[in-house]
Every structure is written in structure tokens, then in C-alpha cells.
Structure 1
């Protein structure tokens, strides 16, 4: 991560420095160019205006005398600029400064020709004996067609160049300040980016090692914060997937263990009885018949287990197609009660049916509804030693509520949420005489869901249980379709 931090720092630094240097460089060049042009133009226009004023003051005099020189000196002091006069030959004949060394020197021929033709000239004047150029303007000396020569007003360029030098120095210092500021900003930005990225990297590494409870703690609302939120969401999903995987693995192991156990018990009994019969250890016919009866019972137990497993697998794989028609709930309940009445009476139990008046029909698979009720009643008979079992059906809004109420041993609160699991038995270790596959309620749950119904259970140890299912009426189906 440190390498990435350095890479980010370098890229940000080079980007910022390039932006600062190019921006300030271009700005400095443009500023210098336009400022210089503006200053030059302003100075030239000012000199040109003053030169015309000088001509206005001396255009009626073409002779160099003390009066003219005094007037030039006065104008020099007033305008704060040097004034030269040159004749038709381009020779400097008078200046506004006493003891001027340039008297007698010549101006450029092109300037002299332009001025003598009545035109003004603006140029950097080159004077013989003067190394440094001057910003100068030249205007005709005279009036109308009477041109005696030219008037030159000039200012040294040295001052203007000094101004430009200060400007360039200021731009240089601004550039250096920009470089320092950019470095500081890049350092902060690099730190603010690399710090949460290091946190994200550490968390991602932990998640990669299987620690799905790890979360990224980044308190930013930018793209890095979005990345952290995405990684946290991914970790949460992976954690759920891992938990589901563990759960499915546990369910698979429990399933195999339960199937092995449920098969081993009857098969062991059958094997033992068969070995006894084969070895001739059972000689009496009555004893053999008892052995046959036990083997038949154990065989039926294995057969029920296989049938329940097949039903459950088909239900969970959505391979069961319901044949739904209008069903008279009361008729189904009465048939189920009748089928268990003999078994219940053997235990001294009573099965009562309580049906509400004008009970609406439900839209369901009649055989599967009977299967649901049989599983409930079978458990009620199995776990009830005394009292009664009641089958109740009532109308509730767009549902028909069916309840199976018993006075049996009840179910502990910790087991209420687990009774719908495959192979879970509330009587495990409590009663060895009650046999079952432990799949009945799991099948009930799948069948009720397949009918778009609901289910619930209320129970407490020693006070019996109440199993309830709600199945939709024909009216409800028509309203939703």
C-alpha cells in the first residue's frame, strides 16, 4: 500500500505542478506581452500628444536662438521629458538640456524622411553615440507645408524594462509559492486518499481470509466512501452466504445422520428377527407370527420414511402440482376424524369436530388438505394420553381457519420454532414407544405454503397444543385474480 501511496503522491504532485507551472507560465507570458504593449502604447500616445504641444509652442520659430532654447527648457521641465529638434538634414540642432552631447548627431534617415513628409513616427530611436535605445516619437516641426525639421520626444526604455523585470520577478515568486502550495496540497490529498485506501485494503485482506464480520470504517461521502460502503455490503452478503452455507452443511449432516438413524433402527430389528428365524431359534408358530408382525411393522416404518422423504423432496424442488378445486372443508375434516377415531378410542381419547355454520369453500387440492390434517391429528393422537382432540373450522375474513387442538404433553418454548424442521422430534429421548419419521410437520409447512396459506402453533408443556392453518377461500382467490 505504501507503494500505491507513493504512486498517488507522484501522480498528484506532477499533475498539480504541471498545472501550476503551465498556468502561471502562460499567464505570465500573456500578462507580460499585453502589459508591455499597453505600457508602450500608453507612453507613446502620451509622448505624441506632448510632442504636438511642443510644436504648437514653437512652430512660428525656425531659428535656433536663446529664446527657443529657453522655451524648450521650460517645456522639458513642464512635461518631464527630453526634447530634441532636428533640421531638414536629420541633424540634431537643439535640445532641451544644456550641454547636450547629442547636438549635431543624426537621427535615422527613415525617421527624418517620414517626419519631413508631414507624418508622425513612433519608434525606438537609435542615436549615434547612444548605446541604449529610447522610446521616441517624432512629429513635424513647423506649420502646414512649412516644415523646418522634426521634434523628438523620448523616454529611456530602461524604466519600462525595469517595470517588466519586477513583473517577471513577481510571477517567479508566485510560481514558487504555487509550487510550495501545490506540494502541501498534494501531500494532504495523498494522505487523505491513501489513509482510507489502506483501511480498505486491510479490511479486504481480512475478508479474503474469510473474516466476513470485518467492516470498513471510512467516514467520507465521496467515491472512496461509496467504495467502502460497497465493500461493507459485499461483506454482509458474504457473511450471510457463509452462514447459510454453514446452516445448509449442518442441515445436510443432520439429514444424513437422521436418515441413517431412522433406517438403522428398523433394519437392525428386521435383521435380528430374520437371523433368528433362519437359525431356527423360533420354533413355535405363535412366536414366529409375532416376529413376522414386528418385521412387517418395521418395514412399514421404513416405507413411510421413504414416502415422506420423496414427498418432501418433491415439495422443496417444486415438483408437486396441486389439483385445485372448490373443497368442502367440513367434509374433509369429518373424513380425517373418522379415520383416526378408532386409534384414538384405543387410547381412551375422544375426537370432536366443530364446524361453523355456512362455512365457505376453499380453493385447494382436496387430498393435500387431508394430508395436512392427518399429520396434525396423527401427532395429536401420538402425544395425547388423556383428554380429547378437537378439529375446529371457522371463517375468518377471506380465510378458513382450521385448528387441531389437543390436551397432550405440549411443546417447550425452545422447540416451537424447530418443530417445522426435518427430522426434529419433540419426543426424542422422552418416549421410545412413539414412532415417527419427523418429517410430517416439514411436509405440512411446504403444503400450506403451496396453497398460499399461513400456519402457526401455540403450546406449553403439560397444557396441550393448538396447530392452526389458514387456507384462502374461493372468494379471496377470485378477488386476487
Structure 2
């Protein structure tokens, strides 16, 4: 696109600010793309290195108003980190490779999410199955896809849907495999309820070649399971050996669960229950996407942090100027890793999959650990750190790792918004509670922002957002962790004077 041409992309480049259009038909400078005729909303976020815009991240969706605030914040976080990595020329090649990997993974996950969305609106099982196999083959580019459904009475796996002409022939012939067939990967998948991957079919003695699919060189069989019941098997074949990547394996395994659930809904659930399940599935997919994205981002990031740490340890000779750059890479890498871990924790909490390992916990050692870290971080800063804890505090029934995370989140939050002055941690027993207060003399919180303090992706003081950093998840996670422990959290603050966060955790019941 020429830079002088009116368009949302060029507007973002010239302004250096994100451009969010809830309805593209209302934007005079929206430039339609004939290859994307269904676009209804668009988000363009500039990639900035210093004050220079080096590119943009352009996201489009079929739904008006698709890009809600937390999605915009997530895209801004991603673009900030992409620009940071781009600035470090030593890592350009690695970043490029990892970005390509992430792009492929994201595309595949979007394809899987799109397929899952379509499943929920199909009430006829036969139509559902046929659309699934065609969508998987077309979106992922596989040689052939078909689905076997288990006939429990007959003890056979029967082809109910297949891609292309071969799939039609197999379905019309009623192609089937005995469930107890010893030389069948599909039957073994159903019996063992485990995914089977064959990198090279010519080397697998249990692979049963089909004369209608002579070019098959690799195969993946994924069980379709709902609860403790096997519904069938998703079988995918390709004409290249070693075709299936680990990402595809994870994505398709997850998608198989979606297919199985959709089949059950189409057969057994009333229309209103199907609609409710569809909403729950969409929410689960969102959290699964966030969790999977976090896992994928952590892999290249850990490599970058590890490489920088080795250099800081003196593994290689580097000059002072480069050492300073490496320290910046390491520090920002750790910061980004913390943000990713926060995203992953929030996804687990929202999905209801965060498990607390409860035990009898003494508060004092956790306070000592948090205090030691705070002293180290505050060294050389004009901030006084103080701890006041009553002796012999009663134990609580809690997950010590998560309680430490609660304390650390509140202390680091105080550090972010306190340039000078004091931060203190006080602990006391109060009736049937243990109360912990973290007080600071920082910038404080305006009364109008108090109801947003514990919201996701919020930095209540916009003037400090870029300085303080973070994804705006720390306090949201803290509140949810406190609530999971049966506790309470509240905040009191005056702008310009500081804030006090109070956590109350129930005392362990006497035996």
C-alpha cells in the first residue's frame, strides 16, 4: 500500500497509534480487500522501534465490534515485544524463525477454532461429520481425512465421512474395520483411547494400506472421546513421510475433543442446551488459545533468556557496551516471561483448571521469602522497606506457592507505582483471619478508578502504564487466588499519598 494512500494501515503508520474500527463501513479511509470480502471490523497496531514505525500488525474479523479492550491490550503487548526483539539485530534470525512458527501455530489454532465454531451450529450428525473432514483437509492441506464411528453392537468402526471422491466411495461401500482387528492402527486407537502417529507407513507393520489411497506415507489416528465413551476415530493421512508437526498433533487432538462433543450435542441435547454448550465451548476455546499461545511464546523466550544469561555469566568475552545490551535483553525477557505466566494463570483460572495444592501453611516463612526478594529489588532505590509481623501467627490451609504469588504480586505492584518513599508489609491475626497489609507511599489511585483495580488488562493510572509495564493481570490474578482460598481482598487509596491492599485469609480450622 503506498504510504500516501488513505487507508487504516497508513493512518496507523502516520499517527504511530493503534487504529480500531468497530465497523469498517463507517470508516471513510477503510480500504476494502477483494480477497477479504467478509471483513467487518479491523484493528491495526503499529510496530515501533523507538519513535520509528517499522511496520504494522493488521487484524480483521467478520464480526463488527470484535476487538474488545482486552484483545486490543493483548495485541499491543504482542507488538511491543515484537518491536523489542526486532531491535536486537543479533536475534533477528531467531525471532524470524520463531515468529514463523508462531504464525503457523496461530493460523492452525484459528482454523481449529473456526471449525469448532461451525460444529456448534450443525444439528445433523451426518452433515456435521462431512463438513469436519472437508474443513480439516482444506485448512491443513492433508492428503485425506475420514472419520470412523463406533458401532458398539456390531463391534466395528464404520466410515461415516471422508474427504473428496475417495471419502464418498468409502462411505457408500460401508467400509469398516473390526474393533478387535490386531493389524489396524484405527482399531488400536479406539481400543487404547490414545492418539497414534505414524511418521512413515512403509515402516509400520500394523498399517493397513487402502488401494483407494495409494499415496499415503504418514498417518495420524485420534480417538473421539466424550467422558468415558469412545464415539469413533478421526483418521488423517498425508502423502509425505513425517508430515505431522507437534503443533498439528496438539491442535488436532484438541479439535478431536471438539468434534466428539459436537457429535454428542447433535444427537442428544435439546436446542437450548446446545446453545449454552456452544457458548461454554467458545469461552473454553478462548482460554485454550491464550494458554497455548503462552506455551508457544515461552519456548523461544526461554531460549533468548538462557542465551543472554550465559553471556552475562561470562561464557563469552563481550565488551561493556554489548554487556549492557545483553542485560537489557535478559531483564526485558524476564519481564515478558512474567507477563506470559500471568496470561497462562488467568487462562487456567477462567477455565477452572487451576488446582490448589492445599496444606497447612505458616505465614512467616513466606513473608521472609517475599521480603528477601523485595530487599534485593529495592537496593539502591530511594524506597524504605519495612516488615511488621506478629509472632506466632496461626497457620492457614492454603497452597504455599499461590500464597507466595499473592504476596509477591502485591509487593511488586507497590514497587511499580512508588518512585520514592516507603513500602511496608504488616501481618496480624484478627478473629478467624490472618490479615496481611501491603502499604506504599506511591501515586495512589483515583476514586473513579477504584472499581477497576482488580479488572483484567487494567492499569488504572494511564500516565504510568508505559513506565510501570505489565499486562494488567497481576491484581486480577491476585484477587482470584485470594477468593479461591476463601479469602477477601480490598484496597484503600488516596491520589498522591499511596495505597494499602489488605488480604484476609481464613485461619486453619482446629482439628
Q: TM-score, normalised by structure 2?
A: 0.41
More relative contact order, 1 or 2 (CA 8 Å, 6+ apart): 1
Q: Which one has the bigger strand percentage?
A: 2
Q: TM-score, normalised by structure 1?
A: 0.44
Q: Which one has the bigger helix percentage?
A: 1
